[in-house]
């Protein structure tokens, strides 16, 4: 890969890692406040011989829990956290779009479509804000079920806290995926949008690279071919690439460049890609073997 593209990707990946890591830290603090409130709420339950009993007081508390936890979310600033993080995404997408334009020498007045990114911003904002509501409904149902079933209080508390723990990677996945999609939208908006436009699939090649990406990374494809691809997770492969948490991107290939004739030829853009892919496939095999051994299968 040409050094300018490598430098652009290294810079972008560092910015993405920093943004995602900070988002995870901020989100963990919000979820910590949620868990503490659940402990406080369950401490108010009427318990007999260690088991939560079905009383009007307990049932009333269970029905109020979603509203109580929603208040904690608001106090913890969850909505502001999401809005601010998405605003940073837009800035990162602008940086990505401008950077790829310089590398690919695509001539266009605007490096990214503000209208497109704003629409995507609103879509992901709603998606992220709806995640806690779904979790709170599950918490409420779990609490009701635990009360009606006279569940052990410690077991019930562990189950409730675990439900909140599971949402941290869930929300982070949505956010991380959205961030990558923002960047790809910015890049795609720098191209004319023709079926024959060519793109190099670029990104990390290691033991974590999923088969869809491992098969394509380092190769050049036309937009028509990309539009026909199916990553098995999300629609619009040009924007979603390999799916959730994908670390790869489509780099525009300028007309007349040495890479343009490689489009849809299933040929690597450089010999180093083949060596890296072979090493990554071996790493994946070792990782699978280690997991099977850990499971005892």
- Note whether residue 127 is domain-resident: yes
Q: What per-residue confidence (pLDDT) applies to 267?
A: 93
> Domain check: are 178 and 223 in the same one?
no
Question: Both 172 and 219 in a single domain?
Answer: no
**Of 132, 154, 188, which residue is a domain's last?**
188
Give the per-residue pLDDT at 93: 67
Q: Are 90 and 179 in contact (CB under 8 A)?
A: no
Do both 102 and 21 map to the same domain?
yes
57 domain residue, yes or no: yes
The structural domain count of the chain equals 2
* 290 lies in some domain: yes
pLDDT at 105: 43
Q: Given this model, what pLDDT does residue 60 score?
A: 92
Question: Does 131 map to a domain?
Answer: yes
pLDDT recorded at residue 49: 80
What residue ranges of the chain have pLDDT lower than 50?
A: 1, 98, 101-111
Q: Write out pLDDT tens, residues 212-237.
A: 999 999 999 999 999 999 999 999 99
Q: By the 8 A CB rule, do 117 and 93 touch?
A: yes
pLDDT of residue 142: 92
pLDDT at residue number 110: 43
pLDDT at residue 26, rounded to an integer: 92
Tell me what pLDDT residue 222 has.
96
Q: 35 with 83, same domain? A: yes
Contact 212, 232 (CB under 8 A): yes
Are 145 and 230 in a shared domain? no
Residue 115: inside a domain = yes
126 with 271, same domain: the answer is no
* The dihedral formed by the CA atoms of 287, 292, 293 and 295, expressed in degrees to the nearest 10: 130
pLDDT value of position 230: 95
* Domain identity same for 92 and 239: no
Which range marks the domain in which residue 265 is found?
A: 198-295
pLDDT digits (tens, 9 = 90+) for 127-186: 899 999 999 999 999 999 988 888 898 999 999 998 888 888 889 888 888 888 887 887
Tokens 């460049």 map to which residue? 257
Find out whether 214 and 280 touch, Cβ atoms under 8 Å: yes
Tell me if 280 is assigned to some domain: yes
pLDDT at residue 104 in the model: 45
115 and 62 share one domain:
yes
d(CA 84, CA 247): 22
- Other C-beta atoms within 10 Å of 172: how many? 17
Which neighbouring-strand residues pair with 47?
Answer: 52
Residues 81 and 178 occupy one common structural domain: yes
Burial class (CB in 10 A: 0-12, 13-18, 19+), 288: exposed
Q: Are residues 255 and 143 in the same domain?
A: no
Are 48 and 137 in the same domain? yes
* Domain assignment present for 193: no
Distance (Å, rounded) from C-alpha 278 to C-alpha 294?
25
Q: pLDDT value at position 190? A: 72
Q: Give 3's contacts (C-beta < 8 A, 6+ positions apart).
A: none
- What pLDDT does 188 receive? 78
Taking the model in full, what pTM does it have? 0.74
Is residue 29 a part of any domain in this protein? yes
- Given a contact cutoff of 8 angstroms between Cβ atoms, the answer to whether 58 and 147 are in contact is yes
Of 188, 217, 243, the one marking the end of a domain is: 188
Residue 100: the pLDDT is 53
In sequence order, what are the beta bridge partners of 51?
A: 48, 152
- Rg of the Cα trace of the chain? 24
50 & 27 share domain: yes
Domain boundary among 128, 153, 188: 188
Angle at which helices 56-76 and 78-104 cross, to 10°: 40
């Amino acid at each position: 890969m040409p050094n300018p593209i490598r430098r652009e990707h290294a810079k972008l990946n560092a910015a993405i890692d920093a943004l995602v890591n900070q988002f995870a830290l901020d989100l963990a603090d919000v979820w910590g406040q949620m868990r503490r409130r659940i402990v406080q709420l369950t401490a108010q339950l009427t318990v007999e011989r260690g088991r939560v009993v079905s009383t009007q007081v307990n049932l009333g508390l269970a029905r109020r829990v979603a509203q109580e936890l929603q208040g904690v979310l608001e106090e913890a600033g969850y909505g502001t956290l999401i809005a601010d993080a998405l605003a940073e995404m837009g800035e990162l997408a602008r940086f990505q779009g401008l950077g790829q334009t310089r590398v690919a020498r695509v001539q266009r007045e605007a490096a990214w479509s503000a209208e497109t990114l704003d629409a995507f911003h609103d879509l992901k904002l709603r998606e992220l804000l709806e995640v806690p509501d779904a979790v709170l409904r599950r918490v409420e149902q779990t609490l009701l079920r635990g009360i009606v079933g006279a569940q052990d209080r410690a077991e019930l508390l562990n189950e409730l806290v675990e439900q909140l723990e599971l949402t941290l990677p869930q929300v982070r996945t949505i956010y991380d995926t959205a961030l990558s999609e923002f960047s790809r939208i910015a890049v795609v908006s720098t191209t004319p949008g023709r079926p024959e436009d060519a793109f190099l699939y670029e990104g990390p090649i290691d033991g974590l690279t999923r088969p869809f990406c491992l098969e394509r990374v380092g190769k050049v494809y036309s937009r028509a071919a990309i539009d026909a691809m199916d990553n098995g997770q999300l629609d619009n492969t040009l924007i979603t690439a390999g799916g959730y948490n994908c670390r790869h991107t489509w780099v525009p290939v300028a007309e007349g460049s040495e890479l343009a004739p490689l489009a849809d030829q299933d040929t690597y853009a450089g010999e180093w890609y083949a060596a890296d892919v072979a090493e990554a496939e071996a790493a994946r095999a070792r990782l699978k073997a280690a997991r099977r051994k850990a499971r005892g299968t």
